[in-house]
Every structure is written in structure tokens, then in C-alpha cells.
Amino acid sequence: MEKLRSPAELKSLQEKFAKKRKSRKRSIAICGGTGCRAFGSEELFNAFKKEITLQGLDDKVDLKFTGCHGFCECGTLVIIRPEEIIYTRVALQDVPEIIAESVVKKNVIERLLYTDPVSGEKVKYEHEIPFYKRQQRLVFGSNGLIDPTSIEDYLAIDGYSALAKVLSGMKPEEVIEEIKKSGLRGRGGGGFSTGRKWESCRNAPSKNGTRYIICNADEGDPGAYMDRSLLEGNPHSVLEGMIIGAYAIGSNEGYVYVRHEYPLTVKNLGIALDKAKGYGLLGEDILGSGFNFDVKISRGGGAFVCGESTALMASLEGKIGEPRPKHIHTVVSGLHGKPTNLNNVETWANVPLIINKGADWYSNIGTEGSKGTKIFSLVGKINNTGLVEVPMGITLREIVYDIGGGIPGGKKFKAVQTGGPSGGCIPESLIDLTVDFDKLAEVGSMMGSGGMIVMDESTCMVDVAKYFVKFLTGESCGKCVPCREGLDRMLDILTDITEGAGKEGDIELLEELGGVIKDTSLCALGGTAPNPVLSTIRYFRDEYEAHIKEQRCPAGVCKALITFTIDEDKCNGCGRCLKNCPQEAISGEKKEPHKIDQDKCIKCGLCRDNCKYDAVIVT
Amino acid sequence: MEAAEKYQDRVESIIDSYNRSPDSLISILQDVQSECNYLPEDAIRHVAKSLGLPLIQVYGVATFFKAFSLTPRGKHTISVCLGTACHVRGAPMVLDELERRLGVKSGETTQDLQFTLESVNCLGACALGPVVVVDDKYYGQMNAGKVKKVLAKYKKSPGQKKHGKIKVTG
Amino acid sequence: MVELTIDGIKTKVFEGTTVLDAARSMGIVIPTLCHHPGLSPYGACRVCIVEVVRGNRSSLEASCTLPVADGQVILTDSERVKKARKVIIELLISTCPNSKTLQDLAANFGVNEVRFKIKDKNCILCGLCVRYCKEQMQSGGIGFVGRGTSRKVATAFGVTPEECRNCGGCEWICPVCERACTAGNLIDGLCGGCQNLMPVETCTVCVHCSESVGAHGHKVY
């Protein structure tokens, strides 16, 4: 690996790798995203590798273990190129057949194709699958084309062109103008204008000229894994954005703060940094421009609060993650008291795109106030679980039904939770809401980092509120009274309500306490913590009232308020419930109606899940 | 005191690898925990002394972050995903059953040091939810009934606990 | 110099002054708990909150850590401030009822009921002791340990460290242990009695030492 001394040298290297890529006639891309790995895609990749070598096809077939493709529901995903045939739910035993049929020959294996649930037809190509059709995968799309541990792959698809463009004569102020013009807003949840943030940081005085760049990869929202998949699957795209940002702001030192629970991300990022340095794309005299910039990786210690910028910076200084009030912004005084620009992973990844295609092009996507696309993790009670990238302004209905494929089991849609523990739920009545920063905030939620949890009729909204508050009480740093004590008392009240001990006036007390916590907390953790409670009260007050006034959980979730019994008329004594009960609480003779011992019953619901005759009743 | 000395050497080399910078305290403690399975009192005292930091600051950091354990961890780590997606699919029942069968609460280690039970916020495998990870193996679509079988796999054969060290540059 | 408006009155102060100090220099009373003029501001108790008005929006901020700014408009006693402060005091009492300082605050600001579960921790985590030890005594004897509701002030490993000078400053500065409310008649966590701010070690009967404000049932605001 030789250091590239100019943008021209970069271009010829890109062309070299692109040519090499095209020279391999066939290519197999296996998804290495977390969802597919959980399905065993690493073993699958190894099996393919072994078989390809055995058959002497190494120089004819380009086998790649790529970043996340997004369609986690149908993992493990395999894509055959150049045809772009996509195989879903691939298993180890399919390997020989795939190689024989689709790689050596160019046949399609019907049974491995995706089946459209509505038409029943088989779909060959990725872009024809309903899940992908409505998406606009500008940032995330490259994941499927590259092996994240290979810089050659990134270069082959014109990676680092944006950096070359910037270093070929754009002034830092021009770069900032371009980002401002594009309308890019922070993708981590704050939604602040990225261009303006960069500008403030550049203009903030610094005695010895030190400024820092940070990439916040502390993705803490439970249910969100977009940043991980982006950073793990295409680390160079984020890195390129950071280098461009560093140049624009005037920084020579950057950090990527990765949460402790993502060891593979740390690994892939480390490899990317090494390789970028090797080619002189990072470090001293980048592309011969005289600009120096280096990046260090720092791991989190397992604290959601460290996703907050001041707490993150405290932990980068070896201290506990205690936030400080932001009267003096971090762009003026941040890490070690120096001007610091912190942006989210996805925000950084949007930068090369904007530089390459131009701010005008970018600002044509999205809405008036929210430009570009957003990656969401669409999970929960949804058929097509996965990571989706959509243009701002798309409606929730399109996301849930057209892309998400609707609710499994034919159940009724109830609400979507966006913004994680800082956000709120959006009910069925607002399903035609257009997704953008301002609209989501108007209805009492927020964009957040991109978690989108779908809930159905069997989800108890009081339980959901309790879940989020419980999560936050465990993550509060404990410094200020309203967050530390207030959230704890909110949890007390919510627990009482879910256990049938709710009192008249509890809802009003939650509203009052929530309002004070929002108003007086020191940082945004406490400041947004009451949102899930307040938004569920706003849209599902009747559920709260049922719990309090009638000691009833309409969704059948709150254990203390439900009883499992067997309908003797429907039960035919097949014994499936008995066999599957973990507490051995069910008794009955074969072909005789069975009975549940209420003292032993732990309300796990397995009997209901296993019963084929709908004989288990929950009241 | 041979054991304590060997241990000091390992801690010293970790501190050196971070250029003895107090800023890297959290990363240093993580590597020390990787080496020693947990953070022994002596190690914490040593780190504070070597970095020139007040002991109470290092102790404060060690008790603030969930990644650190001041008590020995079990041979196997059982992580239950309590992400929102897994939660709405019934993850709490799985955690309850695990707590019941192991006799410990989330965050604790069994008396025989076989298992450490903990909860995680999102493993990124939402399509498989509820998810439980034991060491590096993923168990998807879990429910209370499957817990017994999963535990049985680890109770009979003492598995090998890998000391996963990840090389990090910088 | 910076010019700002507090409670409708314009004032000029040096840059770097906190809103709390600016208000107090005007004679305006703002209660505090975790603040001490000899120690760095901390901003944890949120008792000193004021309303900062920006156009037709406003927010509540802790005045002890809020720097003054040109053109700033501050309200120290608005309805929003009063309501929020009452709830904060209520939360404080629910976590530490046996403090005369807190009972005084409650009496002074008309907190007549504590609607939350009383979970007596005997500490409000104001950090005065920690800052006193670190800043005044230049020592590192005690500090914050743990996080969230399990956060507490402790020594490393529960052992009194070498650094401890036995100065007793941590005990002296504590708003809880030095000034315990020893009234035996806490009703639902509230003493409801005196707001005598003289440093009194013990206060055996609260009800009859002050009849002007705060006694049971009297609403101050």
C-alpha cells in the first residue's frame, strides 16, 4: 500500500479497483449484518468460501461478506451479481446448489426467491421486492456492494471522491456553505442544522487552534441499530465524511465514540482506519494537500447517557458521564474546553453524498424543513423487520404497510413509537403523518435517532410507558433531582397502575410531574424522559383509565390484571398446553378439558401461543 | 505475592499501550477487565496510582459504567435483549424465567460462578426477537418455555470462555 | 458589562456573573440548596430555577449555573417557577424528610403535601461534601459512586482513605445531617413548621415557634 499523493493518484487507483471488480464475472454477496449473523451468515460465508476454493473458482467468483442489506426479516440474504438476483432465508445446505446453479450456470433457484405475500409471485430482483421498492437507499445502499474490511471495495465504487473534490481547491468556507445549502440536519435526534454547527465551531476562538471532531456512535435507543449497521457495514463512508468535516472546520484530531456493546463495529472501524492511513487518506498530508487529520476510536462503558454530547465528552476525558448545562455550547467549549463538533454516524455518512452530487440535488429530496433521507429501524409488530432508508416526507402509512408489509397475524395496527425513550407514540389516527423533524415534534414525538417500533392491539400502552421510564431510571446519571427522583416516582406510579393499584388522580399527577421533569432537568435525558408517558396519556388515556378505574388491561398484557383460564367447551384435551407449561401449572387427562392452577401460573402466555383451538382465554 | 506482581505487569503494559494517558481511563479499565475477567480491587488501586488519579475518581468511573464488574463474572454470560422490539414480543417473560431458574437477578452472577445474567438494549437482531445471547451464540424467537433447554446446553458441558480481546488502534 | 432584565428591573453586571449572583445583588431572594459561594456551582438540586424568556417562548434554568447575557429577560418568581419549585421540593422531601433545611424550604414555599412514596435516603446528593473535600481541602477522600437512584456519596471500597484529613467539613456543610429535623410529628413527611433559619442543632417542637407562616394548613403562596 502506497500513500496517495494527489487526487489524480486516487482517481487512477479507483479506476484500477473498479476494473478489477468488473473483471470477475460472477459475484456472490452474503449479508454480514447483525440480523443475518444471528441467522448464521458467517458460517454460510465460510461454507461458500470452502466450496468455491474446492471447485477452483477463486479467480472467477468474487465472494463478499458485505455490510447489512437491511431486510433482516428474510435473513440470511445472498445476492448474485451481475444479475442482482436476491435469495432469502438461505441455509447451509443451499450452498452447493447455489454455486452449481446460479454461479457456474446462470439459473435461478425458484424456492430461494422472495415470495410476494399479496400476489404469491416470486420476485427475482432486490429492487422489485416491495420492502425495497419504496425506499431511497442513497446512504445505506452501498452496504450491499462492499466488504467493510476492504478499502479496495469502497474505492472501486468511487469512494473518497468527495474528499478528493474538497481537497482539489474547495475552501473550507465553501464546504460549509455547501453543507448549509443542502439543509442537512443532525440525524442523531437533535436535528440541528449541520452546516451551521460546523460554521459555529470553525468560528469559535481557540488559543492554540485546536478543534475536535467527534462521531457519536453511542447508539443507545433500545430497538435502534442503524448506526451500527452503517458504521459496521460501510465505515469508510463515515470516515470520509469526518475528514471532509475536519477540513471544513479546521480540526486535526477526531474521535469515534463507539458504544461498548458493539465490538464488531470497533473491529471493522479499526481495520478501516488502518487501511485509510495506509493509503494516505488519513494522517499527515492527506492526498498531498498539506492537511493533517487523524482519528482515534474510543469505546463507551455501557451508559445510555453518554450519547448526550457533554456526557460523551466527559467520558472521553476519563470521567463519569455526567452532562453539563449547555449554556456554553460544545462547539465553543467542548472536549478539553476546546471547540468541538459532534455529529451522529448517519449525519457524517451523508456528507460525501452531498459533496459528490451537490447541495441542490440533495435539497430536492425531502420536505421544506427536512432534507434528504433517513434510515429507520423498523421493528416490533411488523412483518418486514429491518433497516429502511426513506426520503423525508414519506407517510407513516407507506412505511408501515407498503414497506413494512403490515402487521403480522392480521392484527390491528395501534401505534408507532419513534425517537426511542425521548420520543412518543403516534396512534392510528395519525398514520398519514408525513415523517419529518417538525411534523413528528408537533404531535408530541420526535425523529430521534431512527428507531421505529410498531405496536398492535396486543401491546399495552401503559406497559410501554412503564418500560421506557424503567429503562431511563437505570440510565440516569443521578446528578439532578427531577430526573433521578422524579423518574423514579413516575415509575412508582406507573407500576402501581399496571398492578391494579392505580388511584384516581394518578394520570393528572403523571402529567404534572412529567411537565416539571421536562422543564427542570439538567440535560436532554431528563428533559425528554417524560415524553413516552405524556404521549401515551395524550392518545391512549382510555387505557390508563381502564387500568385505574376497572383494574383491567385492555391489551391483556399487565400480569397482575390478567388471568389465564381454559374454556372447557373449546378444549379438546390435546395436552399441548400442559406439555409446554414451564411451571407445570396445567393439569388434565387426555381428551378431557384441562385446567390451569392459578397459584402456579406465571402468565407467560405459552399455553395460549400453543393452543390450536383458541381455548385459552385471557381476561 | 507472585500473583499480584504478575497482575501488576499486565496492568502496566495495558496502561503503556494507551500512552499512560488519564483520558483513556475507561478504555484502560475495559482492557484490564478483559484480562482479569472483572476489576479486582488491587487492579483499580494500581490503575489509579499509575495514572496519578485520585482513587475515588477511578472507583467512581468503575461503578458508574455498566461495562465494569467489581465482582468475578461467570464462565458464561447470558445476555437478554430488552430492546423495545424484543420487549413488545415478550422479552420480560424470558428474563423472568431465567432469573427464576438461575436464582439471580439481572446483573448478578450465580454462586457457582457458572453464569452471569445481564440485559442488553439492542443486539440488532430484532427480526429474531426475543433474543438471548449466551457467550457468542444467538438464540432467537425465545420464550419462557425454551429457557430450560438453552440452559441445559451449558450446565452439562463446561464451555470455554474466550477472553475476547479486540485490537484497537489509537 | 452585561445588561439584563430581572423581574422587570434592568441591571448591569460583569460578564461571567451568574444570574443567581446578579439577582441576589439586587436583593432578590432565590432559594438554593446545592450552591455555596465558596465552592464551584453544581446545578444539581434545581431549586434555584428561574424563567428565561426568549420572545414568546421561555424555559426554566438553574440560575446558579446560568451565565448572564446581554438582553436576557429573567423572571425569578413566575407561576411556572413557583409550580415547578414546589414539585422539586416535594421530591426532595420524599427522598429525605429528616432535614430541617428541606422542611424549612417546604414551609417557605407552601408545600403542603408530599404525594410521592417516601424513600428515606438521608442524602440529597447535593455534592456539597464532595466539592468541599475536593476544592476546599484539596483532598480526594469522598466522591460520587454508582449512578441513578443508586448513586451515593462514599469512599473507595468503603475504606476511609489516606487522603481524609478528618476535618469534619463534609459533615459541617451537609444540609441534612448537621441540621436534622427532630420534630417527632412528621405528618406524611412534612413538619410544616418553622422556618427559623438560625443554625439550630435540634428543634424539639416545631409547631409553636412560628405562627406567621408555614404552620400546618397555612398556605404561604
The neighbours of chain B, by the rule of 3 or more Cβ pairs under 8 Å, are: A, C
CATH code at position C31 = 3.10.20.740
Q: Is the dihedral of CA C22, C25, C26, C32 positive or negative?
A: positive
Residue C214: burial class (beta carbons within 10 Å; 0-12, 13-18, 19+):
buried
Q: Is the pLDDT of residue C200 over 50?
A: no
Q: Please report the DSSP string for C132-197 in residue order.
A: IIIIIS---S-EEES-GGG-EEE-GGGS--TT-----HHHHH-TTTTTB---S--BTTB-------
What pLDDT score was predicted for residue C169? 84
In a domain, C18, yes or no: yes
The partner residue sitting opposite A481, judged by closest CB among C44, C148, C150, is C44
Same domain, C69 and C136: no
In a domain, C161, yes or no: yes
* Confidence category of residue A287, pLDDT binned at 50, 70, 90: very high
Same domain, A465 and A594: no
What pLDDT score was predicted for residue C221? 25
**Residue listed under C-alpha cell 406465571:** A602
Same domain, A57 and A92: yes
Residue B67 near chain A (CB below 8 Å): yes
In a domain, C218, yes or no: no
Q: How far apart are the first and last CA of chain C?
A: 35
Strand ranges inside A128-275, DSSP E: 212-217, 253-258
Same domain, A234 and A307: yes
DSSP class of residue A77?
P
What pLDDT score was predicted for residue C193? 52
Same domain, A326 and A259: yes
Q: Count how many domains chain C has.
A: 2
* Confidence category of residue B3, pLDDT binned at 50, 70, 90: low
In a domain, A1, yes or no: no
User: Lowest-confidence range among A262-271, A592-601, C19-28?
Assistant: A592-601
In a domain, C86, yes or no: no
The pair phi, psi for residue C12, each rounded to 5°, is -115, 130
Each residue's pLDDT tens digit, B63-119: 999 999 999 999 999 999 998 888 988 899 899 989 989 999 999 999 999 999 999
For residue B141, the distance in angstroms to the closest alpha carbon of chain C comes to 32
B45 vs A107: CA distance, rounded Å: 65
Q: For residue C92, list chain A residues with Cβ-Cβ distance below 8 A.
A: 481, 485
For residue C184, the distance in angstroms to the closest alpha carbon of chain B comes to 37
Q: Is the pLDDT of residue C141 over 60?
A: yes
Q: Is the pLDDT of residue A617 over 70?
A: yes
A557 vs A553: CA distance, rounded Å: 7
Q: Can you give the residue range of the structural domain that contains A329?
A: 151-362
Q: For residue A228, list chain B residues with Cβ-Cβ distance below 8 A.
A: 124
CA distances A85 to A82, A196, B77, Å, are: 8, 43, 39
* Confidence category of residue C202, pLDDT binned at 50, 70, 90: very low
What pLDDT score was predicted for residue C188? 64
What pLDDT score was predicted for residue C189? 64
**How many C-alpha atoms does A381 have within 13 Å on its Cβ side?**
22
What pLDDT score was predicted for residue A613? 84
Same domain, A187 and A217: yes
A269 vs A263: CA distance, rounded Å: 10
Q: Can you give the residue range of the structural domain that contains C21?
A: 2-77
**Residue listed under C-alpha cell 452585561:** C2
Each residue's pLDDT tens digit, C40-90: 999 999 999 999 999 999 999 999 999 999 999 999 999 999 999 999 999
The CATH homologous superfamily to which domain B76-153 belongs is Glutaredoxin (3.40.30.10)
In the predicted model, what is the mean pLDDT of residues A2-8?
Answer: 93
Q: Pick the residue with more confidence: A214 or C207?
A: A214
In a domain, C8, yes or no: yes
The partner residue sitting opposite A222, judged by closest CB among B24, B96, B121, is B121
- Given A517, A549, A581, which residue is the final one in a domain? A549
CA distances A297 to A159, A215, A258, B17, Å, are: 21, 10, 7, 14
Q: Pick the residue with more confidence: A389 or B89?
A: A389
The neighbours of chain C, by the rule of 3 or more Cβ pairs under 8 Å, are: A, B
Q: Count how many domains chain A has.
A: 5
* Yes or no, beta carbons of C62 and A325 under 8 Å apart: yes
Residue C33's closest chain A neighbor by CA?
A481
**Three-class secondary structure of residue C89 per DSSP:** helix
Secondary structure element (H or E) that encloses residue A564, with its range: strand A564-566
What pLDDT score was predicted for residue C16? 93
Q: Which grid cell sits at B22?
A: 488519564
What pLDDT score was predicted for residue A150? 95
* Confidence category of residue A98, pLDDT binned at 50, 70, 90: very high
Residue A326's closest chain C neighbor by CA?
C66
Same domain, A444 and A469: no
User: Lowest-confidence range among A86-90, A505-509, C187-191?
Assistant: C187-191
The partner residue sitting opposite B56, judged by closest CB among C143, C146, C147, is C143
DSSP class of residue C66?
P
Residue A56 near chain B (CB below 8 Å): no
* Confidence category of residue B1, pLDDT binned at 50, 70, 90: very low
Q: Could you tell me which residues come within 8 angstroms of residue B18 by beta carbon, excluding any fewer than 6 positions away?
A: B24, B27, B28
Q: Is the dihedral of CA A325, A327, A330, A335 positive or negative?
A: negative
Q: Is the pLDDT of residue C203 over 50?
A: no
A441 vs A55: CA distance, rounded Å: 57
Residue C164's closest chain B neighbor by CA?
B56
Same domain, A534 and A510: yes
Residue A519's closest chain C neighbor by CA?
C60
Residue B26 near chain A (CB below 8 Å): yes
The partner residue sitting opposite B56, judged by closest CB among C140, C146, C147, is C140
- Given C17, C43, C77, which residue is the final one in a domain? C77
In a domain, A272, yes or no: yes
Average of per-residue pLDDT values in chain A: 93
Residue C72 near chain A (CB below 8 Å): no
* Confidence category of residue A515, pLDDT binned at 50, 70, 90: very high
ipTM computed for the complex: 0.90
Chain B stretch 131-150, residues whose beta carbon is closer than 8 A to a beta carbon of chain A: 131, 138, 140, 143-145, 147-148
The most distant pair of C-alpha atoms in chain B lies apart, rounded to whole Å, by 52
CB pairs under 8 A between B and C: 32
Q: Please report the DSSP string for B48-93 in residue order.
A: HHHHT--HHHHHHHHHHSTT--SSPPPSEEEEEE--HHHHHTTHHH
* Confidence category of residue A240, pLDDT binned at 50, 70, 90: very high
In a domain, A470, yes or no: yes
B54 vs B56: CA distance, rounded Å: 5
A377 vs A230: CA distance, rounded Å: 12
Give the amino acid at C149: T
What pLDDT score was predicted for residue C208? 32
CA distances A115 to A91, A94, A127, A132, A133, Å, are: 17, 17, 14, 14, 14
A238 vs A282: CA distance, rounded Å: 13
* Yes or no, beta carbons of B60 and C145 under 8 Å apart: yes
Residue A222's closest chain B neighbor by CA?
B83
Q: Is the pLDDT of residue A463 over 90?
A: yes
- Given A503, A519, A549, which residue is the final one in a domain? A549
Chain A stretch 216-235, residues whose beta carbon is closer than 8 A to a beta carbon of chain B: 219-225, 228-229
Strands C73-75 and C2-6: parallel
Average of per-residue pLDDT values in chain B: 85
CATH code at position C136 = 3.30.70.20
- Percentage with pLDDT > 70 across chain A: 100
* Confidence category of residue A600, pLDDT binned at 50, 70, 90: confident
Strand ranges inside A337-488, DSSP E: 340-344, 373-380, 386-391, 413-418, 424-427, 451-456
Mutate to test the interface with B, among C131, C137, C138, C145 (most CBs of B within 10 A): C145
Residue B105: burial class (beta carbons within 10 Å; 0-12, 13-18, 19+):
exposed
CB pairs under 8 A between A and B: 178
CATH code at position A471 = 1.20.1440.230
CB pairs under 8 A between A and C: 91
**What pTM was computed for the model?**
0.91
Q: For residue B55, list chain C residues with Cβ-Cβ distance below 8 A.
A: 140, 156, 161
* Yes or no, beta carbons of A473 and C149 under 8 Å apart: yes
In a domain, A105, yes or no: yes
Q: Is the pLDDT of residue C212 over 50?
A: no
Each residue's pLDDT tens digit, C104-127: 888 888 888 899 999 988 889 999
A574 vs A591: CA distance, rounded Å: 6
What pLDDT score was predicted for residue A340? 98
In a domain, A465, yes or no: yes
For residue A351, the distance in angstroms to the closest alpha carbon of chain B comes to 24
* Yes or no, beta carbons of B164 and A263 under 8 Å apart: yes
* Yes or no, beta carbons of C140 and B63 under 8 Å apart: no
Q: For residue B57, list chain C residues with Cβ-Cβ distance below 8 A.
A: 140, 143
In the predicted model, what is the mean pLDDT of residues B28-35?
Answer: 94
For residue A305, the distance in angstroms to the closest alpha carbon of chain C comes to 11
**Chain CA centroid to CA B13, Å:** 22
**Three-class secondary structure of residue B138 per DSSP:** strand
Q: Is the pLDDT of residue A45 over 80?
A: yes
Whether residue A38 contacts residue A77, with contact meaning beta carbons closer than 8 Å, is answered with no
Q: Which grid cell sits at A161?
A: 471522491
Q: Please, which residues bridge with residue A389 across strands? A: A375
Residue B57 near chain C (CB below 8 Å): yes
Each residue's pLDDT tens digit, A103-140: 888 899 999 999 988 888 999 998 899 999 999 999 99
Average of per-residue pLDDT values in chain C: 82
Q: Which grid cell sits at A357?
A: 452530487
Q: How far apart are the first and last CA of chain B?
A: 33
Q: For residue A300, list chain C residues with Cβ-Cβ distance below 8 A.
A: none
- Given A515, A549, A583, which residue is the final one in a domain? A549
In a domain, A122, yes or no: yes
A422-A424-A427 Cα angle (round to 5): 165
CA distances B80 to A368, A558, B96, B141, C89, Å, are: 42, 20, 10, 12, 38
In a domain, A554, yes or no: no
What pLDDT score was predicted for residue C180? 56
In a domain, C40, yes or no: yes
Q: Is the pLDDT of residue B5 over 70?
A: no
Same domain, A348 and A243: yes
Q: Pick the residue with more confidence: A2 or A185?
A: A185
- Percentage with pLDDT > 90 across chain A: 80
Each residue's pLDDT tens digit, A343-388: 999 999 999 999 999 999 999 999 999 999 999 999 999 999 999 9
In a domain, C201, yes or no: no
